[in-house]
Amino acid sequence: MFERALSAGTRPALLWMHGGGFVVGRPEQDMAIVSRILDRIDIAIISIDYRLAPEHPFPAPLDDCHAALCWLVEHASELDIDIKRIAIGGQSAGGGLAAALVQRVADNGPIVPAFQLLVYPMLDAQTGRSDHGARGQFLWTPKNNIFGWTSYLGRDPKTGDFPNYAVPARRASLTGLPPAWIGVGTLDLFHDEDVEYGNRLRGAGIDCVTHVVEGAYHGFDGVKPEANATASFYDSMLRALAEKLAME
């Protein structure tokens, strides 16, 4: 049983990005996952209402996330937040934005994040083929994925040659990034790209847990919140988050 971890003095923080394929979504949609985190960890969560594509393609959504992080760092003392214990995380497209933001701040600041929490993240613009077997049949399909990436990038994602930080999976070197937790199901369209990203992080010497749920599709935890697989998924996620934020 995972018990609630309490922080001493200033609290850690999680900068969170919602999902929605870069084209839809609001922070309020993630209240279920935010509540599960807050039930177990004494942490401040800042959820970002970033601009959406296609009206606002890259880099606008990522710029909004970076601006929110800069605001958080600037106001950390009045919010009683420890800037050495800030995690960056998100779900689906929000997980992709989280991974991209981690890459950007690793290069340019304003801080070194302590952890990246990537919940079935949308990492690779070229995951749009129809030959994924049973993957991508529920909730998020190859067709959805092509539309989301086309809207975000402002052009056909199959052309490649992406700008820096636009497509996290295409970064050449992952050396120097913070520890990570990546969670994904075997039936999720993002399974292969997420597992590969975890392998690359570990290959670069980064501490990374990849939690794979057998038979789970994209967003399974929201559809079946009481399932044993969902409980195990969150236990793994929150143990990693608490450990890397020095709360255990």
Give pLDDT tens digits for 149-198.
Answer: 999 999 999 887 899 999 999 999 999 999 999 999 999 999 999 999 99
Higher pLDDT, 10 or 92: 92
Among the residue ranges 1-5, 87-91, 126-130, the one predicted with the least confidence is 1-5
Q: Does residue 9 have a pLDDT over 90?
A: no
**CATH architecture designation of domain 11-244:** 3-Layer(aba) Sandwich (3.40)
160 vs 9: CA distance, rounded Å: 47
DSSP string, 48-65: E----TTTS-TTHHHHHH
Give pLDDT tens digits for 212-238.
Answer: 999 999 999 999 988 999 999 999 999
Res. 16 pLDDT band, cuts 50 70 90: very high
Angle of helix 93-108 relative to helix 60-74, nearest 10 degrees? Answer: 60
Structural domain boundaries in the chain:
11-244
Give pLDDT tens digits for 120-129.
Answer: 999 999 886 5
Q: Do 182 and 198 touch, CB atoms closer than 8 A?
A: yes
